[in-house]
A and B are shown apart, each in its own frame.
Chain A
Amino acid sequence: MKLETLKEIIKKKENKLEFAIVTNLSTGESELFEEKKPLSKNFDKYNDQINKFYKSKKNGVIENTDIFIETYIRPIKVIIVGAVHIAQYLVDYAKSLNFEISIIDPRGYFASEQRFPNISIINKWPDEAFKEIETNSNTALIALTHDPKIDDPALQHALKKKFYYIGALGSKKTHGNRCQRLRDAGFSEDEINSIHGPIGIKLGGKSAPEIALSIISQLVSETYKK
């Protein structure tokens, strides 16, 4: 692989672009593939097969060829509401996973850059914050404040936009009250039941890193169910 190709890959990953690396295993040549961009003449004759493989988001050698393709998907957007202690560990775990984390917290003293270096922090109330973030059914929400004033508007937004994962921290009692408020706000039982609450898989631990681990495990598991 040429060094310039490597640098281009890293740049595209930083810019959160979707692309693929195509390599001819018998000549050693490689280049980057992007949808609707023409390939060089060395790869052009495989264009249809590369396109087909790319659309299925798989990695592998294209049948009856020497062409290897590795697809890169955009990182999954994970929005954390509440710049609390657990969130600091979630950020650590997410580093080796393909998750792009944003944190929303209107309380300035929590959402400081010192506590969360290099993370996008939106120091606003959820209703205002969501105007700045594009969200859809590929987005995940982790609500950690267990304060209805902050969590509820975020949960309502996530339900309306059909996020694939919605989790909310809080005891069974807190979650019961939360469900009642959502019911009162007009959400259906199916919608309310789609919220993972109390959040996380049962690991048994109660410390911040253990709770963060149980949440990230549930998130990965739900990501593969998509």
Chain B
Amino acid sequence: MKNSFDEKILEEANDWITTNQKVVLATVIQTWGSSPRQVGSRMIVNEKGDFSGSVSGGCVESAVVRECIGIIKENKSFKKIEFKVSNESAWEVGLACGGEIAVYLEQIN
């Protein structure tokens, strides 16, 4: 039995849209190796960079927020991004756990 959780992110996305916010939905679509969140995990971002939910354990959320704001500014409808293992000594975005994830971003319109 899968999905014994329901984080209600889609319901929250609808609430944001009702209050005239632009919303990009980010979904984990693939994982390789040890990744913090499973396929189907979700996060939403608005044009101001407010976000809810998660696609990792805090490792790549800042980059996802930036990408989502970019999508809203350029009025794109979707984009796929991948994150790989990070260099632990550098202040860069990546997955310290050594896994890789692919995240699909789509604007709700």
Whether, in the assembled complex, B85 has its beta carbon less than 8 Å from a beta carbon of chain A, the answer is no
Is the Cβ of A70 less than 8 Å from the Cβ of B108?
A: no
Is the Cβ of A226 less than 8 Å from the Cβ of B6?
A: no
Nearest-CB distance from A191 to chain B (Å)? 22
> B residues within 8 A CB of A72?
3
Is the Cβ of B25 less than 8 Å from the Cβ of A1?
A: yes
Q: Given A60-B30, A61-B30, A9–B78 Cβ distance below 8 Å?
A: no
Nearest-CB distance from B51 to chain A (Å)? 17
Q: Given A1-B25, A3-B108, A224–B4 Cβ distance below 8 Å?
A: yes
Whether, in the assembled complex, B88 has its beta carbon less than 8 Å from a beta carbon of chain A, the answer is no
* Chain B, 56-109, CB within 8 A of any chain A CB: 77-78, 80, 104, 106-109
Which residue from chain B places its CB closest to the CB of A14 in the assembled complex?
B11
Is the Cβ of A2 less than 8 Å from the Cβ of B109?
A: yes
Is the Cβ of A23 less than 8 Å from the Cβ of B14?
A: no
Is the Cβ of B39 less than 8 Å from the Cβ of A98?
A: no
Is the Cβ of A61 less than 8 Å from the Cβ of B29?
A: yes
Q: Which 10 pairs show the lowest CB-CB distances between chains A and B?
A: A59-B40, A28-B78, A98-B6, A59-B39, A226-B1, A223-B4, A28-B77, A68-B29, A57-B2, A70-B40
Q: Given A59-B39, A60-B39, A70–B2 Cβ distance below 8 Å?
A: no
Is the Cβ of A23 less than 8 Å from the Cβ of B25?
A: no
Whether, in the assembled complex, A6 has its beta carbon less than 8 Å from a beta carbon of chain B, the answer is yes
Whether, in the assembled complex, A188 has its beta carbon less than 8 Å from a beta carbon of chain B, the answer is no
Q: Given A1-B106, A10-B11, A97–B80 Cβ distance below 8 Å?
A: no
> A residues within 8 A CB of B29?
25, 60-61, 68
11 contacting pairs across A/B (C-beta < 8 A): A2-B109, A10-B10, A28-B77, A28-B106, A60-B29, A60-B30, A61-B29, A72-B3, A96-B5, A98-B4, A98-B6
Whether, in the assembled complex, B27 has its beta carbon less than 8 Å from a beta carbon of chain A, the answer is yes
Chain B residues engaging chain A, CB cutoff 8 angstroms: 1-8, 10-11, 13-14, 17, 25, 27, 29-30, 38-40, 77-78, 80, 104, 106-109
> B residues within 8 A CB of A226?
1
Interface string of A195-226 (1 = CB under 8 A from B): 00000000000000000000000001001101
CA distance A7 to B8 in the complex (A): 13
Q: Given A28-B106, A68-B29, A70-B27, A98–B3 Cβ distance below 8 Å?
A: yes
Which residue from chain A places its CB closest to the CB of B39 in the assembled complex?
A59
* Residue in B1, B7, B30, B40 whose CB lies within 8 Å of A223: B1
12 extra interface residue pairs, beta carbon distance < 8 Å, beyond A9-B10, A13-B11, A28-B106: A1-B25, A3-B108, A3-B109, A10-B14, A13-B6, A13-B10, A30-B106, A57-B1, A57-B3, A76-B4, A96-B8, A97-B6
Nearest-CB distance from A162 to chain B (Å)? 15
CA distance A30 to B77 in the complex (A): 12
* Residue in A10, A13, A68, A96 whose CB lies within 8 Å of B104: A68
Whether, in the assembled complex, A85 has its beta carbon less than 8 Å from a beta carbon of chain B, the answer is no
Is the Cβ of A73 less than 8 Å from the Cβ of B3?
A: yes
CA distance A75 to B80 in the complex (A): 30
